[in-house]
Structure 1
Amino acid sequence: MMHPPPAADGVGSFFKGSYTMLTGNRLYILLLFVPIALVSEEFFESEAIIFSLCCFAILPLAALLGDATEQTALHTSQTIGGLLNATFGNATEMIICFFLLKAGQLEVVKLSLLGSILSNALLVLGFACLASGSVKRNVAYGSTTATANTTMLQVSVIGVILPTLMTATGQFESHGNESLSISRFISVIFLFLYALFLMNTLCPCPALKPGEEEHKKEAEEGEEEESYLGFWGSILWLLGATLVLAYLSELLSGAVEGAAEGMGLTPAFVGFVIIPIIGNAAEHSTAVVMAFRLKMDLALAVAQGSSTQIALFVVPVMVLLGWLIGQPLDLDFGLFESAITFLSTVIVASVINDGSTNWLEGAMLISTYIIISSAFFFFEFEGADHGHDDRALRMQ
């Protein structure tokens, strides 16, 4: 795929390109919340207010991070550009989860990661199917890539639920050393598998099934982006958005428990529903817009690719980072959480593998997500600071 001519670097070009970027997305109006959120601790005592302000500020920053990454990628080769998009595609979730991990909110981290996987696989994909179905009754897409993403997600789910199954069958103690060891081993395997997944994705394969050339051409056309920022201008926005996002994520992580109590929610609901939706908002909008344009191949790539990336990259990175900073994060997500994750991937596979979709399938996926999310409105955990034999789950 040929990239458009790169934008020139320079002060004038930087301000012109920045203006083009910031006026091209209505979501950026929420940037007005950023300075308020940055000083929220000084002026507000309520953690619910601080948490809410951080959420509103993170929404446009996540979109800004994505746009800056894409602009940077346009000034590199296709391979490096793909790696940049893959690395920073879920940077928002990684930054938020890191500060939650640093604060010892291990259970919230786990639910946030699972919530990110399922919100992309069910909610984003569901809205994409609903959007395309509102334009055309049945929309076809290339099934090869979609099936590969679904299979990779199912493989990753096996690794995620394995420590839980070992604990449930009495082979491991709950959150014991054995669970930690196998979780870290699985995380290394995941990162190796993710590297192979990137190689397969970034290296174009000349062999396509009959009828898929049109889908591939349509997806590539949809991926073309206008270059309005120079390389160093893109890097500047990328670094600036990352630094501000990191600070707001630290504020957000410290306010989770107090905000949940203040808003009458459980920390589990905040971790599984609110934080993933905030972190994935930019990707949600991209997938839906592409689906409205009947570019379902691209919409599927965004939704499924994000789920697969979180499962194979973000999850193992969090486990290994926890190892480095002394936070014993393992892959023992709990029997309930593991069961709904496995069942969700089965549902997604049954929807995706036929190579076409409609609005009814979208409604089914969204309904599945809402049903699962409703359970976390009542779901509570206690003593999750360090994760060793101190988790008590109860339904009220």
Structure 2
Amino acid sequence: MTNTLPHYEEILAPYACKPSLSSGRLFSEPEQPSRSCYQRDRDRVIHSSSFRRLKHKTQVFVYHEGDHFRTRLTHSLEVSQIARSICRSMHLNEDLGETLALAHDLGHPPFGHIGESVLNECMANYEGFDHNAQSLRILTRLESRYASFKGLNLTWETLEGLAKHNGPLVDTAIDHENPPAHLSFGFRDYSPEQDLKLHTYASAEAQIAALADDIAYSSHDLDDGLRAGLFELDELKKIPVVAQLIDEVLLTYPGASKDVLIHELVRRMINRLVADLMVESGRRLKELAPEHPDDIRNAGAPIIAFGRNMSTAVSELKEFLHGRMYRHYLVNRMGSKARRVVTDLFELYISEPGCLPTDWSEKAPEPNTAETARVVADFIAGMTDRFAFREHAKLFDLSKVSL
């Protein structure tokens, strides 16, 4: 691939993903002199309808519960900011890191993790549902914007990073023309089209995007939980690293309001996590001494990582949030509604595919088949929270005349 921005590549580390070394796109396209291939990938993600719908998809709180709580869209923007900053500091390709961060949650259905869990249960007899695999499916199959190809025709590095940002999906190299049955449907379905080398780790940029996600949702869910009154600052002192930061904030700003104290805590938490990641990743890079992006992929272990103590702290924070926030009775109540909405919609659509919008029902002519189940899953996964509620009301509230 032609190097469109050589001056930019000069400042990148030898193991960074460079546009001039990209494996290209599935469908060949002429490059543009003003934007690198990864910048174009980012722009295609941002302009996609799936990205826009993240505005009304749950992070933890359903969209109407408060204007200040995070949605999938605001979360993705926060992840991208963290990923881009880390990539820049480490002389990695910040455009690729940003693209992966913006795209990482596209496959989430409405109602957050409970929505994914329920949809996976509904699809149990039809190869299941996985939001990571659905993200790949959206970018390669379901987005329909171009006359020459399905999907967004993103670069190999973007698709690879999206598929493997949490690590290899299989233990050894596979026949990508005949992928193993245990792979999630979206990965297995796409494998014959393009070999994403699912047995290796992803690029350093993809690994950064994955940990930027951890940093963002751990810190910002803490923020949302405090502001929603699900727990108090004193309760967080059970977690040593958080307790240290709380004491630091209280000592520095003894007269500050609760809102300011929360903000100061969260920003320090993010800074501490980023700093630890860069120190530990720098140590691993020095030990590996990579000279090419493939050296990162073939390292046999993650190269971008937190140190041992910080990994423990992150796990402790996740455990706290799981018990005090994600399983809080107020969140559970909305989760109960979400479970009924997703289940009802799935069961109706699969048994009566004629109730789907015309462009969807044309793909699913026969009820209760695997093909129809996948069409229904794709349709529900693309819904926003509010659209799912409205669709449910239209179909199950018999008093509503207008559909």
TM-score of the alignment, normalized to the shorter chain, above 0.5:
no
Larger fraction in helix: 1
Length-normalised TM-score, structure 2: 0.28
